[in-house]
């Protein structure tokens, strides 16, 4: 894919996307712009909090409750994991285990483990295990396939 970036001195910022056919690469770009600035509502200490999707490191389901983890906070959300997966499917989130969805853009390091699992180190230093069920799909995504 070819792209051109031009800085202008006046006028409004604008992004134009020209494509012959919708493919996975184009769809990801479109999804990025459609989801830019999207937010969800979470709960912390009986207070509603607005959470930007870009701030989410991972989402985990524990005992039937769903929690969103950011750099330094944990919020309860009123969605189940399946609903969160559907909400986030067009952006850089990946189902990495039966109980967790991770933000691929927040991964710093990857380490292959035995049994075809992957240890992903997130931006906040936490380690997330990508189960063998999801590991091959994750490797395919990381390679850009």
Q: Confidence class of residue 35 from pLDDT cuts 50, 70 and 90?
A: low
Quote the distance between the C-alpha of residue 55 and its chain's center: 9
Q: What CATH number does residue 111 fall under?
A: 2.40.50.1020
Domain coverage including residue 53:
41-142
pLDDT at 137 over 90: yes
Q: Is residue 33 assigned to a domain?
A: no
Greatest mean pLDDT among 25-29, 30-34, 94-98 lies in: 94-98
CB 57 within 8 A of CB 124: yes
Q: What is the pLDDT of residues 105-136, one digit of tens each?
A: 999 999 999 889 999 999 999 999 999 999 99
pLDDT for position 42 = 94
Q: What is the pLDDT of residues 80-90, one digit of tens each?
A: 999 999 888 77
The pTM for the full model equals 0.74
Q: Is residue 22 assigned to a domain?
A: no
């Amino acid at each position: 894919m070819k792209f051109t970036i031009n800085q202008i001195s006046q006028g409004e910022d604008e992004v134009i996307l020209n494509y012959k056919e919708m493919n996975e690469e184009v769809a990801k770009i479109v999804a990025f712009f459609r989801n830019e600035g999207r937010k969800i509502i979470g709960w912390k200490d009986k207070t509603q909090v607005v959470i930007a999707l870009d701030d989410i490191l991972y989402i985990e389901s524990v005992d039937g409750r769903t929690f969103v983890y950011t750099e330094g906070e944990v919020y309860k959300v009123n969605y189940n994991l399946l609903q969160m997966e559907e909400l986030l499917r067009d952006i850089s989130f990946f189902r990495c285990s039966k109980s967790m969805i991770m933000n691929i853009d927040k991964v710093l390091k990857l380490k292959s483990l035995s049994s075809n699992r992957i240890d992903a180190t997130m931006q906040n230093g936490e380690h997330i295990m990508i189960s063998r069920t999801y590991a091959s799909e994750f490797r395919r995504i990381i390679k850009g396939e």
